[in-house]
Amino acid sequence: MRRALLLVMALLLCVTASTTYAEWTLYKISGRDYVPLDDVANFYGLGHVVRAGNDATMEVGGRSLKGGVNSVEFYINRLKFNLSYPIVEFEGRPVISRMDLTKVIEPVLRPQKIKNAEKIDTIVLDPGHGGHDNGATSLYGNEKAFTLDVANRARMMLMQSGYHVVMTRTNDTFIPLEERVRIANQYSNAIFISIHFNSGGAAGTGLETYTLAPRGVPSMMADGPRIGDLQPCAGNINDAENIALATATHASLVVRSRMYDRGIKRARFVVIRDIVIPGVLIEGGFLSNDFDARLIAMPNYRQQMASSILQAVQNYRRAVGTQAGETVARNAEEPHVETNTPMLRATPSANDVQPTVVTPTSAGTN
């Protein structure tokens, strides 16, 4: 990485009506702001950074951060995230982008500090594809049928738990992306969960959760930076809520399944780009992979996905609510680094239910 332009500053961050200060060191590397992982570990009460080759780990009790130099893969409490920019090394110290500090680490570790997070009573479920749009396909069925089946199962569980549930489609009908956005944007005190299954060659496997890329951050689905990365998107008003919802959703999916964890990723899919409520898009496995496809075709796996969605909603509500869980930071101040710069995969056992071919007419049944 080019380091021709470098600025090192000591920053004192003060909390309103408080005399407590937190000192951060800011590095300007190739026009982007970075902070040392040492400062991150200190601020969040995670002890010292332990280096093992390119890996850097900060851990106290059950809380941990782990990343690698020159890698975007980053683990928070052992859940995989994909950073906006790789961790880099400067003068022997691993440093992380200010963007990832404020847009990933802070809202994930301290979701209870997200300002103005609404109380959630409505869940908008978006079964992907439909009608002439089959989505991904396998020997056992089409994506459009599997997504509707998962959504129907989740709908029943959410309703039984007292939530108001809205479906962007309830049958084998093609719904344009813009119409899905319009439906979602009719509701306040709501979150949006778009349900999909993946495709991408026989080697592709595992679970992914997508949330909207912050303004200025390249989409992981694009080939490099684009002018559009700088355009404001409606969904960016909920950047903090989006990543908190993605964390709750992905954690629930990974914990309840035997699928490989591909991580939380960033994109600008229309349905998460243009909605004005917090939203995520989940990919529940690869229909192009025989192992994943067989698992997806099992009714008990789709029921498990529905249970994961319910658990994700409940966990998100608790995380951003007034009765939030443990505050993991050692101090109460916010980690706003201000400058003058603009800005588990396993083989199915013999006791597993065998795959069943799912068609639009059989979706929602066992």
Q: How far apart are the first and last CA of the chain?
A: 54
- Mean pLDDT on 269-293: 96
357: three-class secondary structure by DSSP: coil
Q: In this structure, are residues 350 and 30 in contact, taking their beta carbons and an 8 Å threshold?
A: no
**Which has the minimum average pLDDT: 91-95, 289-293, 351-355?**
351-355
Burial class (CB in 10 A: 0-12, 13-18, 19+), 108: buried
Closest CA to 101 of 38, 47, 52, 12: 38
Quick one: pLDDT at residue 329?
35
Helix locations, the chain, DSSP H: 37-43, 98-100, 106-109, 143-160, 177-184, 239-256, 270-273, 290-296, 299-320
Q: In this structure, are residues 40 and 105 in contact, taking their beta carbons and an 8 Å threshold?
A: yes
- Mean pLDDT on 205-230: 78
Compute CA 318 distance to the chain's CA centroid, rounded to the nearest angstrom.
Answer: 17
Other CB atoms within 10 Å distance of the CB of residue 319? 21
Quick one: pLDDT at residue 229?
65
Q: In this structure, are residues 360 and 172 in contact, taking their beta carbons and an 8 Å threshold?
A: yes
pLDDT in tens, 231-257: 889 999 999 999 999 999 999 999 988
Q: How does DSSP classify residue 284?
A: E
Question: Is 345 a residue whose pLDDT tops 50?
Answer: no
Crossing angle, helix 143-160 and helix 299-320, to 10 degrees? Answer: 50
pLDDT in tens, 25-46: 999 998 899 999 999 999 999 9
Full strand arrangement of the beta sheet holding 32-36:
8-14, 21-29, 32-36, 93-97, 88-90
Nearest-angstrom CA–CA distance, 182 and 295: 33
Quick one: pLDDT at residue 4?
29
pLDDT in tens, 130-160: 999 999 999 999 999 999 999 999 999 999 9
Quick one: pLDDT at residue 323?
38
Crossing angle, helix 299-320 and helix 239-256, to 10 degrees? Answer: 140
Q: What percentage of the chain carries pLDDT values higher than 90?
A: 70
> If you count DSSP H runs as helices and E runs as strands, how many of each does the chain have, helices first?
9, 18
Q: What is the pTM of this model?
A: 0.84
